[in-house]
Structure 1
Amino acid sequence: MALRNVILEIGTEEIPSRFLPEALDSLERLARSALSANRLGFKDVRTYATPRRLVLSVRELDETQNSSTEVLKGPPLSSAYDSEGNPTRAALGFAKSKGVDVNALCELEVDGVRYVAAEVHEESRRTLDVLPDLLRGLVEGLSFPKSMYWSDPGVRFARPIRWILALADDAVVPFEYGDVRSGRTTSGHRFMGQKVIEVRNAGEFLERLYDNNVILDQEKRRQKLEAAISLLKQDFEGDLEVEMDPELLEENLFLVEFPVPFIGSFDERYLEIPEEVLITSMKKNQKYFAVRSRDKGNALANVFIGVSNNRASDMRRIREGNERVLRARLEDAAFFWAEDRKRSLASNVERLKNVTYQEKLGSVYDKVMQTQKLALWICSRLGKDDLARLVDRAAYLSKADLVTRMVYEFTELQGVMGREYARHDGEDPRVALALYEQYLPRSASDTLPTDDVGAILGLAERVHIVVNCHKAGLEPTGSQDPYGLRRAARCINEILWGRCLDLDLGEVVREAALLNLVDQLTVERILAFLELRLLMQLKEKGYEHELATLALSVAGHRPLQALRLMEALNGVKDEHWFSGLMTSAVRVRNILNKAPDAEGVVDAALLDKPAERALHDEVARLEPMVGAALEARDWQALMELLAELSPVVSAFFEDVMVMDPDERVRANRLALLKRCNALFERVGDLGALKGQAQK
């Protein structure tokens, strides 16, 4: 038989919504691991969360543990007994630690070495006897970004625990955590439910909560919220559409136990403020959904959707209260918008001298000046001198919005406000756009810069960050990357790919190192860091490790060329002619490996066999063509040209003995193969791919 339902509910003060998604995953992982470790089978494990409770539900849990017999390896037999066969301290200690008599130890052979071993048998226990310690361990095992103490200094949790419900069918699972003892009582909705609810059986737990206006299942809360918002649309005046921000939707799910959406509005005069400010204020402070007017070009409307945790009899009072709070927020934003525009964006640049970028790296002003120089160098290196004036101006203004009132209040609007204030000041539209696009992409799903001015500025800033953080010893360690260097490296590659910018990052890093007085050893560390990130990104695109490694060996520190070569290789690697190319390259290389000192110029007069003369002529014909394809970075054409060597190389090895007894003939043939190999190496070590293909 099985226990049909086991419920653990941890009732708390309101837990911050941002803590709960990870807590849900953590509780499920801990529970599955604990049940497995305790040899308990089950049908299903689910976790639920609201602001006031974390819940674990286990269905069809075994009524008893599975028994277990395990053979545990001890010390080597040679050290377990003395010369007279008496057990040593090593054997005695091992037996004691495993709870067996020393005379019960057996022998076990592992990899040719004999050890003593203990056969440990664990009888099954009733699940009801196992659960108290198991469930208490789950509560103890949960961790949060921030935890707090309350009555018991030895107990920590995200927020104070007010009750614990623990039921296995109709039986209470007794344990204590701090000064809270588990029982069969829970609490309903803070405003719309009973304060104390007795639950007779775990099977009725969800229903009892629902009867007291708690929708425990977060997915059902999502469905209810989305359905309720759809119904509200019927009350809209005009062709309006709710902007269903997925991040905001999830945050609201974990802010309420019973979502009740409502429509609110604000004065139209606030629409003169940039819409990102309005949306940020509504989202960050009030958790409101913005609404757009489709009949006005999808412009922001002076309407919002709020989500209440209270189904009040008079929702008008809730709406008016929320509108008052938002009005105060927007009034502040309108004030910041007006005050910031009283001075030009350019006049803020000098003020950056008083803003510390990083303790070891100086002021933001210093960073701007260094980034400006590097951006101009990148602009020139890319052959985009026509953009130099725009890049120079954009780089100079790049961080000027950091000292504005608006960005001080809403730090996430950096770049957005730079763009808006630059537009107000009459700066070139591409400069204004670059002040925003320098930050793109901000996440893996974000858009890329749409203009090269912002792309160049974004590249320069990210290279500056990577170089200077390595200089200061602030590079990532393990899972820690406080300065976002891995993200910066990823963005560099994404920008180069997205804007088709062929840039040698080795050259860029060395230029940045000159500007910032970085030593050569640090430069090598930086290049290794960037190469590793590039390799990982190529593999994330689904390319094989060998292909990615080959592409990097040829393209060097040019991410665009590495990607294009990857695409070309991936497109031809299964072609019959490419297999022939790899075979030819390997055969030539293998012969040369036997004569590593082969040197010299090919003497055509010594080529007396038709097959070697044919190879010489074909190599001579292809050399300029291969060079032109390489110069044009036409990887597909390059490989197709090299494939033309395959039949000639095959004929050469069929008809010509390379290691001729005549030293001059032998050296001449090796020189010819070395010249042939130089062509193959234009696309890297094809032998590595050949080896992989044969596995």
Structure 2
Amino acid sequence: MTKNLLVELLVEELPPKSLKQLGASFSELLAASLKAQGLIASDAAITPYATPRRLAVHIANVAAQAADKPVSQKLMPVAVGLDAHGQATPPLLKKLASLGADASVVPQLKRIMDGKAETLFWDSTVKGISLTDGLQKAVQETIGRLPIPKVMTYQLADGWQSVDFVRPVHALIALHGADVVPVSVLGLQAGRETQGHRFEAKVDPIVLHNADSYAEQLAVEGAVIAHFAERRTEIARQLAAAVAQQKLTLIDDDALLDEVTALVEHPNVLVGQFDAEFLHVPQECLILTMKANQKYFPLLDAQGKLANTFLLVANIQPADPAQIIAGNERVVRSRLADAKFFFDQDRKRELKSRVQELDRVVYHNKLGTQGRRMNYVRDIATLIGEKLGGNALADPAYGAAELAKADLLTDMVGEFPELQGIMGRYYAQYEGLSDDVAFAIEDHYKPRFAGDELPRNRVGVCVALADKLETLVNMFGIGEIPTGDKDPFALRRHALGVIRILIEKDLPLQLNELINLVKEEIFDPLELDTSGMPDLADLQIFIYERLTSYLRDQGYTAQEVDAVLSLNPQLISDIPKRLAAVRAFAALPEAVSLVAANKRVGNILKKAEGSVPATVDASTLKEPAEQALHQVLTELLPKAEDSFAAGDYTGSLQILAALRTPVDDFFDHVMVNVDDASLRNNRLALLAQLHHTMNRVADISKLAVN
């Protein structure tokens, strides 16, 4: 017989940023353990609950006892378990006793070949576990495996024992239908009593009728929306209604919505305002302080500018919310006044006056200060600017890179590190610097995350590339290479940023030249405590690994990406064009035959003894098929090379379609590895020329179907 099961831990306020994950993990882990013990079906309906003060799960159709299971138990080799007369030996009797059996089962033992030895097996039936024992195990396992960010140790009520959990637990509920399951954990015995809202509950304690009445009783008697997703939806609904009433726009922020959902049990959205004079402060500062410090929802007007109206989510629903609104407005006024003070103070000094102070800020114990790092980034950005636009680009790149880190020493960024770059842009504009320089200061951090926008001007591109490449080269130079999930300096993100800038900005910069440029700028003269110029081969491999993932995310197949990247192309911006050419070539009717032939040619050349001649002697070509192939190659090679040089990779590859017939005829009628060394080498030279022609854009043999 099955009944629905409810398990709840009533706790003190849980960490809001962890609640959503804790709630999901609690339900998933508990259900997984019960499934493994045969107490619920694999498709059992599971409903998670999570509020600031509880983790709970409702599971449908939970058995009171798991079904019995047939088990085949491997015992020991026959030669060890039975004597010459077929009687049980002491080792076998001891083994059977450990399994709760005796000599009476010996005639039932099976003899089965296990490898090279005949082995004794005992088929028996194991009684299914009871819900009490199974749930006890499941709850203990679940608590031990929860993704708790920081464990808290606290004393139990007896004053002697201590336990560890994310927050102190005050009650445990375990109901199978209407029956309490007698389990215990964290010093608590399971019961049926819980608590509702701290201030608005109608009943305290709430005595649950059964597992199925949980959500309804909490809502009606306890003024609590127990389901995280339902509470989130209700908050979103109220926010949308308030925004529509104010004729403003809400800034979408799923993380903030999740966090606020984790802070309230009975949400009530209210509208507040702050003095319009604060709108003279950059809106990013105001938005961040409202979100980070107060968990408010800022609003924008029709022009996308910050309005002096905000939304707050209270955890109570009084008849007159005026005092709550006034209290929050008073608090936000102080917060915004701090932001205004920081902004006003910071503008009393120019950014340039702060640059020298970067020499006192340690960046890395092996790499020195932020000042030293800024010098590297400035010089690298200048060199990149010269390559892309001469002095007209190099000069502003120098100026922007020199000021790019100066805002790290401002009061505003000291309070809100998330505003680094953004505040540098505002202060640069206030000082009258050009928009090219000001926006480059902000944009040199971009892209900061997957899908983020790129620097909006060429000055920003130079400084962003310099900043990311300096970090990559320096960190790899001292051996700070990411391993597994650990990437403390975000080198994967920096590598992906370099890739995106090179490709999406279509920059004519070779990757190896960029790395060498940065390497020579940093390590010559050698200032670090190293034995010599570092070998950065691993860095290029690292970047190509990120490039592979990036291209796959763009929709290219593994074969297409492998075909192009196996040639190790250094002009990263050309790679999408190569991939498009490969895809167009693969669609040709001649492609399958040419791919197979290319793979065959590659294998022949790999096995060739000695060096293959660089040129073909046409006068020694004997067979009509090899003469025809040479003639077609002679005609097509200049065309293919011209298309390749012009960047027309699709045209270059499609020219190869004319090779299908002569290549097939060659392999049908010509033996390459003949005894005549002169003839053999000439044919190998012909194949080498063919191989080079076919693989200028990509190694098309990688397109072969395995």
TM-score normalised over the length of structure 1: 0.91
Question: Which residue of 2 is the match for residue 224 of structure 1?
Answer: 234
Provide the rounded CA distance (Å) in 2 between the counterparts of 1:471 and 1:96: 63
Question: Of 135, 142, 157, which aligns to 2:165?
Answer: 157
Contact 1:534–1:559 (Cα < 8 Å) also in 2: no
Q: Which amino acid aligns with 2:17?
A: R
Contact 1:77–1:116 (Cα < 8 Å) also in 2: yes
Question: Of 134, 137, 140, which aligns to 2:141?
Answer: 137
| Equivalenced residues, count | 687
Structure 1 position 424, deviation (Å): 0.7
Q: Which amino acid aligns with 1:210?
A: A
- CA change 1:13–1:623 in 2 (3 A) is same
The question of 1:334 aligning with 2:340 is answered yes
Once the two structures are superposed, residues 590-641 of structure 1 have per-residue CA deviations (whole angstroms, 9 ceiling, x without a partner) of 4434534352332222224443233222222333333333333432122112
Question: Which residue of 2 is the match for residue 638 of structure 1?
Answer: 652
Question: Which residue of 2 is the match for residue 250 of structure 1?
Answer: 258
Identity of aligned residues (%): 33
The question of 1:201 aligning with 2:210 is answered yes
Structure 1 position 203, deviation (Å): 1.2
Return 680-689 or 105-114, whichever deviates more: 105-114
Question: Which residue of 1 is the match for residue 382 of structure 2?
Answer: 376
Structure 2 unaligned regions, length at least 5: 524-529
- Please state whether the residue corresponding to 1:396 is helix, strand or coil: helix
- CA change 1:83–1:563 in 2 (3 A) is farther
Contact 2:34–2:134 (Cα < 8 Å) also in 1: no
Return 313-322 or 153-162, whichever deviates more: 153-162
The question of 1:191 aligning with 2:191 is answered no
- CA change 1:651–1:7 in 2 (3 A) is same
Structure 1 position 368, deviation (Å): 0.9
Question: Which residue of 1 is the match for residue 307 of structure 2?
Answer: 301
- Please state whether the residue corresponding to 2:536 is helix, strand or coil: helix
Contact 2:132–2:182 (Cα < 8 Å) also in 1: no
Contact 1:143–1:157 (Cα < 8 Å) also in 2: no
Question: Of 420, 425, 428, which aligns to 2:431?
Answer: 425
- Please state whether the residue corresponding to 2:703 is helix, strand or coil: helix
- CA change 1:641–1:78 in 2 (3 A) is farther
The question of 1:52 aligning with 2:53 is answered yes
- Please state whether the residue corresponding to 1:537 is helix, strand or coil: helix
Provide the rounded CA distance (Å) in 1 between the counterparts of 2:616 and 2:275: 85
Provide the rounded CA distance (Å) in 1 between the counterparts of 2:417 and 2:94: 61
Question: Of 274, 289, 303, which aligns to 2:282?
Answer: 274
Question: Which residue of 1 is the match for residue 638 of structure 2?
Answer: 624
The question of 1:544 aligning with 2:563 is answered no
Provide the rounded CA distance (Å) in 1 between the counterparts of 2:125 and 2:379: 72
Q: Which amino acid aligns with 1:405?
A: D
Provide the rounded CA distance (Å) in 1 between the counterparts of 2:95 and 2:660: 66
Provide the rounded CA distance (Å) in 1 between the counterparts of 2:78 and 2:643: 67
Structure 1 position 86, deviation (Å): 9.9
Q: Which amino acid aligns with 1:133?
A: K
Question: Which residue of 1 is the match for residue 494 of structure 2?
Answer: 488
Task: Say what the alpha-carbon RMSD is for the aligned residues.
Answer: 2.8
Q: How does 1:523-602 map to 2 (within 5 A)?
A: 523-597=536-610, 599-600=612-613, 601-602=615-616
Once the two structures are superposed, residues 39-58 of structure 1 have per-residue CA deviations (whole angstroms, 9 ceiling, x without a partner) of 12242112121111111111
Structure 1 unaligned regions, length at least 5: none
Q: How does 1:452-471 map to 2 (within 5 A)?
A: 452-471=458-477
- Please state whether the residue corresponding to 2:567 is helix, strand or coil: helix
Q: How does 1:106-125 map to 2 (within 5 A)?
A: 106=110, 108-109=112-113, 119=123, 121-125=125-129
Contact 2:196–2:206 (Cα < 8 Å) also in 1: yes
Provide the rounded CA distance (Å) in 2 between the counterparts of 1:88 and 1:333: 84
Q: Which amino acid aligns with 1:671?
A: A
- Please state whether the residue corresponding to 1:291 is helix, strand or coil: strand
Structure 1 position 75, deviation (Å): 7.1
Structure 1 position 133, deviation (Å): 3.0
Provide the rounded CA distance (Å) in 1 between the counterparts of 2:412 and 2:441: 15
Structure 1 position 175, deviation (Å): 2.5
Provide the rounded CA distance (Å) in 2 between the counterparts of 1:359 and 1:78: 66
Provide the rounded CA distance (Å) in 1 between the counterparts of 2:572 and 2:585: 20
The question of 1:439 aligning with 2:439 is answered no
Contact 2:300–2:306 (Cα < 8 Å) also in 1: yes
Structure 1 position 326, deviation (Å): 0.3
The question of 1:167 aligning with 2:137 is answered no
Structure 1 position 673, deviation (Å): 1.7
- Please state whether the residue corresponding to 1:182 is helix, strand or coil: strand
Structure 1 position 576, deviation (Å): 1.4
Provide the rounded CA distance (Å) in 2 between the counterparts of 1:596 and 1:83: 65
Q: Which amino acid aligns with 2:212?
A: G
Structure 1 position 417, deviation (Å): 0.3
Contact 1:24–1:54 (Cα < 8 Å) also in 2: yes
Provide the rounded CA distance (Å) in 1 between the counterparts of 2:557 and 2:74: 40
Structure 1 position 352, deviation (Å): 0.9
Provide the rounded CA distance (Å) in 1 between the counterparts of 2:233 and 2:466: 45
Provide the rounded CA distance (Å) in 1 between the counterparts of 2:366 and 2:99: 54
Structure 1 position 115, deviation (Å): 5.6
Q: Which amino acid aligns with 1:554?
A: L
Provide the rounded CA distance (Å) in 2 between the counterparts of 1:118 and 1:93: 14
Provide the rounded CA distance (Å) in 2 between the counterparts of 1:565 and 1:79: 68
The question of 1:210 aligning with 2:219 is answered yes
- CA change 1:621–1:44 in 2 (3 A) is same
The question of 1:17 aligning with 2:16 is answered yes
- CA change 1:156–1:425 in 2 (3 A) is same
Structure 1 position 77, deviation (Å): 7.4
Provide the rounded CA distance (Å) in 1 between the counterparts of 2:515 and 2:90: 61
TM-score normalised over the length of structure 2: 0.90
- CA change 1:445–1:107 in 2 (3 A) is farther
Contact 1:9–1:165 (Cα < 8 Å) also in 2: yes
Question: Which residue of 1 is the match for residue 299 of structure 2?
Answer: 291
